[in-house]
């Protein structure tokens, strides 16, 4: 059951609205503050990537749906109608300890993959759909 | 996000406060850049007090990475101190904890960086 939805423009200054929406949903779902912060971070990383890769040089919208099901998890679904963009397809970033050998960037997807309990991507019709699944505390 | 700086002997202590995300990272980068020019050798080292930073996304990591590369190219040294738990977690995931020298307190960082700065510092 979808409990709440927001639609935001894919402009960097507007992403804060989507992030605030997710923070409110995660808090309402009963996640502890540290976990809310992790969900917030993963959301920021995803929204910024959607802006860059699904809508390069143009503006569109992102819909965020907040759902809770009977499997005791919080579901956040991010959908857009931009170019096909599967964040899980991006190559894993190499992380050598020597700063000189490190690429600058590429860490956002790593943070998403690590911090969320499960991440899925589907291309349905003209839509990119990314889902974050976050287990709720018992 | 706010940065304030203080010269302590041969160390510039930069206190960073607030959130470093995709909206504030450019300001963070500008604030750091202002101190990177002279960061070289023993005469001018940088210490970032991160005790006031409660959120950092990859946009902040990107700024730190760029600054660290520049410091290295200039044979300079930039270290970090007093990371909050969430920032420690982000550093661990991204292995930034292996890239940077990180100290639990500003005092501990100064003791490792510069004996004269540690003596001159009156904080913790």
| Residue of B26, B29, B58 for testing the chain A interface, max A β-carbons within 10 Å | B58
ipTM, 2 dp: 0.92
State the pLDDT at residue A35.
97
Single out the residue of B75, B91, B2 nearest to residue B41, CA to CA: B75
What are the DSSP E strand ranges found in B11-44?
A: 11-20
Query: Which CATH fold would you assign to the domain A2-135?
Result: Heat Shock Protein 90 (3.30.565)
What are the DSSP E strand ranges found in B23-92?
A: 45-56, 78-81
What is the pLDDT confidence band of residue B94, given thresholds at 50, 70 and 90? Answer: very high
Single out the residue of B119, B57, B43, B109 nearest to residue B87, CA to CA: B57
State the pLDDT at residue A2.
74
Q: Residue A108 is encoded by which pair of tokens? A: 């956002």
State the pLDDT at residue B66.
93
Question: pLDDT tens digits for B40-55?
Answer: 888 889 999 999 999 9
- CB contact (8 A) between residue B66 and residue A108: no
Q: Indicate if the pLDDT at residue B92 is higher than 80.
A: yes
- CB contact (8 A) between residue B85 and residue A34: yes
State the virtual CA torsion across B25, B33, A92, B85 in degrees, nearest 10: -60
* Chain A interface includes B30 (CB < 8 A): no
Question: pLDDT tens digits for A110-126?
Answer: 999 999 999 999 999 99
* Chain A interface includes B84 (CB < 8 A): no
Chain B residue with minimum CA distance to A33: B86
Domain ranges (residues) in chain A: 2-135
CA–CA gap between residue A134 and residue A127 (Å, rounded): 22
State the pLDDT at residue A94.
81
């Amino acid at each position: 059951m979808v409990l709440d939805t927001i639609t935001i423009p894919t402009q960097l200054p507007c992403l804060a609205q989507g992030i605030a929406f997710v923070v409110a949903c995660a808090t309402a779902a009963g996640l502890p503050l540290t976990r809310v912060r992790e969900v917030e971070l993963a959301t920021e990383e995803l929204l910024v990537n959607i802006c860059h890769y699904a809508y390069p040089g143009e503006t569109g919208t992102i819909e965020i749906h907040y759902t809770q099901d009977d499997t005791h998890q919080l579901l956040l679904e991010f959908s857009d109608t931009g170019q096909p963009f599967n964040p899980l397809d991006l190559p894993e970033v190499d992380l050598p300890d020597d700063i000189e050998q490190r690429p600058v960037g590429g860490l956002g997807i790593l943070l998403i993959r690590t911090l969320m309990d499960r991440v899925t991507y589907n291309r349905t019709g003209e839509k990119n759909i990314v889902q974050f699944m976050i287990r709720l505390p018992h | 996000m706010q940065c304030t700086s203080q010269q302590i002997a041969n160390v510039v202590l930069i206190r960073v406060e607030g959130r470093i995300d995709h909206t504030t990272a450019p300001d963070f980068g500008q604030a750091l850049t202002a101190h990177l020019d002279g960061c070289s050798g023993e005469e001018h080292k940088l210490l970032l007090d991160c005790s006031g930073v409660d959120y950092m996304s990859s946009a902040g990591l990107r700024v730190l990475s760029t600054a660290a590369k520049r410091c290295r190219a200039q044979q300079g040294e930039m270290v970090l101190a007093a990371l909050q738990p969430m920032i420690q977690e982000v550093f661990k995931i991204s292995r930034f904890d292996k890239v940077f020298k990180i100290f639990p307190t500003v005092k501990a960082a100064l003791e490792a960086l510069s004996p004269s700065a540690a003596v001159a510092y009156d904080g913790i």
